[in-house]
């Protein structure tokens, strides 16, 4: 039986910016997470959470994927960066309050230098969003942020 993880254990976000509710499954090349939209969800207004926030749900799911694998290898989760997205499409403009969203991120490419590409989906009651996200996890975050990372 594989270990289970809470979001806070594997996603290095501050509590106010941590958007995922829980992790439902993971494997060598995928992760599945969930978000339940509540009236107190970050970015929520009277109608719900704008669909563009789905990109952050996807990015944090990829962060959970990386954090899980780092924990499994005895390491602490590291910070990663969303470099870009391609073809984000959502069939709804808003994720309504009360909706449970299931996010899947499947790794399609991983380079030795920390660059990765994930195909992501968000599914819920009558909701489908898709995108490909490009991410980067440098070996030395401080050097990268200071512009001294030569990769």
DSSP assignment of 64-75 equals HHHHHHHHHTT-
- CA–CA separation, 137 vs 118, rounded Å? 13
Cα–Cα dist 48/129, whole Å:
16
Place of tokens 């870009």: 84
Contacts of 99 (CB under 8 A, 6+ apart): 36, 37, 48, 124, 125, 127
Query: What does the pLDDT read at residue 151?
Result: 53
pLDDT at residue 14 in the model? 73
pLDDT at 7 over 60: yes
Q: How far is CA 86 from CA 51, 61, 89, 135, in A?
A: 15, 16, 9, 12
pLDDT tens digit string along 10-63?
998 777 789 999 999 999 999 999 999 999 999 999 999 999 999 999 999 999
Q: Could you please report the per-residue DSSP string of 86-134?
A: EEEEESSSEE-TT-EEEEEEEEEEE-TTSEEEEEEEEEETTEEEEEEEE
Average pLDDT, the chain: 93
Average pLDDT over residues 79-88: 94
pTM (2 d.p.): 0.94
Backbone angles phi, psi at 38, to 5 degrees: -120, 165
Q: Which of 64-68, 121-125, 143-147 has the lowest mean pLDDT?
A: 143-147
> In this structure, what token pair is assigned to residue 22?
């829980």
Residue spans per domain, the chain: 7-146
Q: If you average pLDDT over residues 84-111, what whole number do you get?
A: 97
Domain 7-146, architecture per CATH: Roll (3.10)
């Amino acid at each position: 039986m594989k270990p289970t993880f809470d979001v806070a254990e594997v996603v290095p976000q501050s509590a106010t910016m941590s958007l995922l509710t829980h992790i439902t499954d993971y494997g060598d090349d995928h992760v599945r997470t969930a978000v339940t939209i509540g009236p107190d969800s970050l970015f929520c207004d009277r109608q719900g959470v704008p669909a563009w926030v789905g990109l952050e749900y996807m990015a944090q799911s990829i962060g959970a994927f990386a954090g899980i694998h780092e924990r499994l290898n005895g390491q602490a989760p590291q910070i990663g960066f969303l470099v870009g997205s391609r073809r984000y499409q959502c069939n709804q403009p808003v994720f309504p309050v009360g909706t449970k969203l299931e996010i899947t991120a499947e790794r399609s490419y991983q380079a030795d230098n920390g660059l990765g590409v994930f195909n992501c989906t968000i599914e819920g009651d009558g909701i489908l969003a898709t995108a490909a996200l490009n991410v980067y996890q440098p070996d030395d975050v401080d050097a990268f942020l200071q512009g001294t990372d030569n990769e």
